[in-house]
Structure 1
């Protein structure tokens, strides 16, 4: 009997060690290159990763890219070069808890904090007196709406630190009534007693299944792209903060009037680039509501097989739609 328990202990101890600290996967050369091309700045005691590249000469236009959940600024790599040919400066960051930025825990992640992070980056780069163009996706859409709200509030003699020249959104859950989070997202945000177990037991296979479900059947990521998304999320144990970050869904519900109100009342040029096969913000419910509520915005609906990650699934269609918008005013 004693020997039986010894054998069980010898098996359980390494399993427990793996459960408590699963080593992060190795970065691919492409993702390592992206990391090496960036820099960090300090935000409230945490290091935040960003990239800032100079592009078109003789141009003063600046664009800031705001990525989605659960990925990172690397989501923009396919359109980085064409953006650099159009803009003087192209800037992207990893939000706190994402990518190569710090992932503190325990921590109360919020859309408000991420918006303040963007403002802090703008200040760090000395751009507070510049007009900037925002291009956002998914989670980044809601951060952009908080920044938009602050600009509207600033026009009414309140606090605002960013001057938005234009805003282009893409496939974000702007309206709680047309947003359908994935099952794992719902479990992580609502069932806190399960979250520590689920975040540690999320494997590469489960991750790719979840991400693959929000891509179109003909636009699935390559194995290399899946791996880069996975390693970016796992960097600095990012899987362990997913449940905390996912509280943004509850924040969207609570602050709907604030953020949708900013969208409907702002006079900043607005555009929506939309992949219509998106199961998270499905067609036609989402886009019909958007057109009805945000009548000043223009809209580009991509091919019917494009889903939740349009900048990765159809980078040419995405960048053409964006340039048509930005060159129209």
Structure 2
């Protein structure tokens, strides 16, 4: 049975705001129980989690924010955007909500890099992370190709590319990374576009691309966080994603001890949107295992 969609217009009414370093951040929370922090990808927003939101909220206290520069949060023009700062933001949100117990992480794409930094801080004793599940994340930057538009945004003319970026460009690039049978509807594309242009977001698209060199700079720190014992991990992956699909799982299996991976056949870069029922099943199965020990396994779906 498919999971119920939360329309963006409804999602937006349920959001709240808090101030992070003088900038307004939109966030959402629901449910009770152990805290589960959901970390969205680039260039979208926390609405990406809307299919999973209600079923997860039945079991956990789910928390998500539009990171600074994304969705309905502030997008200051003169800001220097950083994955390190986004990790600071997640910890500030937990503090704002007065959550003092270890948080579980469910992270996609850009959010996966933020999760890697939070794992690194956990191992340094500066954060408390209970578990982490990644969805199609560039955990090994040397294995993640860039789309042409991303390369252009990184160029000296990136500011101009961003300002001229339109809905048709979004559609063209999304088509490249979804599975062949799981493309989003026109309505979903309209909603995704409205989140990108909220608060004049195309002015800063090129600035958000700073995550590419930052991933390379912190590569050893963030891969090391995956190789450290103590926090249960799983990698759920849409296999046909050209950016971080089956080839990223191969790298994960080679470099992470006792790798716990799930490959979703025919699914692209957005498994939580393309195949939310499968992602929910594999996530809950992960959480039902004893957190003190997770044997090596490879699952196919």
Common fold: TM-score over 0.5: yes
CA distance in 1, matches of 2:275, 2:44: 17
1:211 counterpart residue number: 174
Q: Deviation per CA, 1:145-192: give whole Å up to 9, x if none.
A: 0011111111xxxxx1x3111100110111122101111001111x12
- Structure 1 contact 178–282 (Cα < 8 Å) conserved: no
Q: Deviation per CA, 1:52-92: give whole Å up to 9, x if none.
A: 1124xxxx3111100000000000001111101121x1111
CA distance in 1, matches of 2:175, 2:115: 26
- Structure 1 contact 71–232 (Cα < 8 Å) conserved: yes
Equivalent pairs counted in the alignment come to 285
2:108 counterpart residue number: 137
CA distance in 2, matches of 1:131, 1:172: 22
CA distance in 2, matches of 1:112, 1:150: 11
- Describe the SS at the equivalent of 2:194: helix
Task: Compute the displacement of 1:259 (Å).
Answer: 0.5
1:50 counterpart residue number: 27
1:8 counterpart residue number: none
> Which consecutive residues of structure 1, in runs of 5 or more, have no partner in the other structure?
1-28, 155-159
1:171 counterpart residue number: 136
Residues 97-246 of structure 1: matches in 2 within 5 Å?
Answer: 97-127=69-99, 129-154=100-125, 160=126, 162-189=127-154, 191-192=155-156, 194-246=157-209
2:35 counterpart residue number: 62
2:57 counterpart residue number: 84
Task: Compute the displacement of 1:201 (Å).
Answer: 1.1
- Structure 1 contact 270–296 (Cα < 8 Å) conserved: no
Deviation >2 Å, runs of 4+: none
- Describe the SS at the equivalent of 2:161: helix
- Describe the SS at the equivalent of 1:236: coil
Alpha-carbon RMSD across the aligned residues, in angstroms, is: 1.2
Task: Determine which structure has more spread, i.e. the larger CA radius of gyration.
Answer: 1
Residues 246-265 of structure 1: matches in 2 within 5 Å?
Answer: 246-265=209-228
Task: Compute the displacement of 1:196 (Å).
Answer: 2.2
> Which consecutive residues of structure 2, in runs of 5 or more, have no partner in the other structure?
1-5, 291-301
Counterpart selection for 2:14 from 27, 37, 62: 37
- Describe the SS at the equivalent of 1:33: helix
Task: Compute the displacement of 1:243 (Å).
Answer: 0.6
1:311 has 2:282 as partner: no
- Structure 1 contact 34–74 (Cα < 8 Å) conserved: yes
Q: Deviation per CA, 1:89-122: give whole Å up to 9, x if none.
A: 1111100000010001121100100000001001
Structure ranking higher in helix proportion: 1
Counterpart selection for 1:300 from 262, 273, 276: 262
- Structure 2 contact 159–204 (Cα < 8 Å) conserved: no
Task: Compute the displacement of 1:130 (Å).
Answer: 0.8
